[in-house]
Amino acid sequence: MIIAVDGPAASGKGTIARALAGHYGLPHLDTGLLYRAVAFTVRRLELDPTREADAVAACDFDDLTLADPALRDDDVGQLASIVSAHPLVRASLLQRQRRFANQQGGAVLDGRDIGTVIAPDADAKLFVKATPQIRARRRHTELQSRGDTTSFDRVLADIRVRDARDSGRDAAPLIMASDAALLDTTFLSIEESIRRATVLVDAALAAKAKTAE
């Protein structure tokens, strides 16, 4: 069983995807981390993130990089949205994500293009959204708890820039798959978001089982 969870930055898709993975006993992949690792490597090697060849060279990152907490920094997210717009970077990370999705028993993946590109035949697809203001507030709180002093206005501005870049690029833009269920978490607690996500996934699985009869 493959569950695809997509949505914009700080919409809560990772929180929901992790909870779904626990609920259904499936492994989880946060695909944003892969793009963050490329961005982090570009920066470490002092490469140019706007040059596709430089960004592709950074796709060969060491897997230990994925465990570095600095990957979660706001500026790495910004850089990730620059490198992720290059088609050859996306192509370079595609098979790794597909292999994870198609492993025996299934998986939960969250990102921007899981339901549209990585796993278009996923058994259940969610598109998680929330207003930019509420996403910025959540991300700001999270950054503060890690000792990051980035201002709320800066976090909100970064989220708007990242939304525009991720939705406006030609290669695998952030869009809701036509067969995804929409979950707006703007006014929902984490617990309620997870509860509703589980109901939506159960409904998608039941509908799929019925058409297979």
Ligand X SMILES: Nc1ncnc2c1ncn2[C@@H]1O[C@H](COP(=O)(O)OP(=O)(O)OP(=O)(O)O)[C@@H](O)[C@H]1O
Ligand Y SMILES: Nc1ccn([C@@H]2O[C@H](COP(=O)(O)O)[C@@H](O)[C@H]2O)c(=O)n1
Residue 121 or 202 with smaller CB distance to ligand Y: 121
Task: Give the three-class secondary structure for 172.
Answer: coil
Task: Give the three-class secondary structure for 126.
Answer: strand
Name the one range near ligand X by CB under 6 A: 39-47, 80-88, 184-192, 202-210: 184-192
Burial class of residue 19 in the structure, from the number of CB atoms within 10 Å of its CB (0-12 exposed, 13-18 middle, 19+ buried) = buried
156, two tokens: 């909100």
Confirm whether residue 105 is marked as ligand binding.
Answer: no
Of these, 28, 86, 125, 139, which contacts ligand X (CB under 6 A)? 139
CB 30 within 8 A of CB 151: no
| CB of 19 vs ligand Y, minimal distance in Å | 16
Name the one range near ligand X by CB under 6 A: 20-28, 61-69, 79-87, 185-193: 185-193
Burial class of residue 114 in the structure, from the number of CB atoms within 10 Å of its CB (0-12 exposed, 13-18 middle, 19+ buried) = buried
User: How far apart are the C-alpha atoms of 25 and 106, rounded to whole Å?
Assistant: 9
Residue 18 or 98 with smaller CB distance to ligand X: 18
Rule CB under 6 A: which residues touch ligand X?
Answer: 7, 9-15, 32, 77, 138-139, 142, 185, 188-190, 193
Rule CB under 6 A: which residues touch ligand Y?
Answer: 9, 31-32, 35-36, 77, 80-81, 84, 111-113, 162, 166
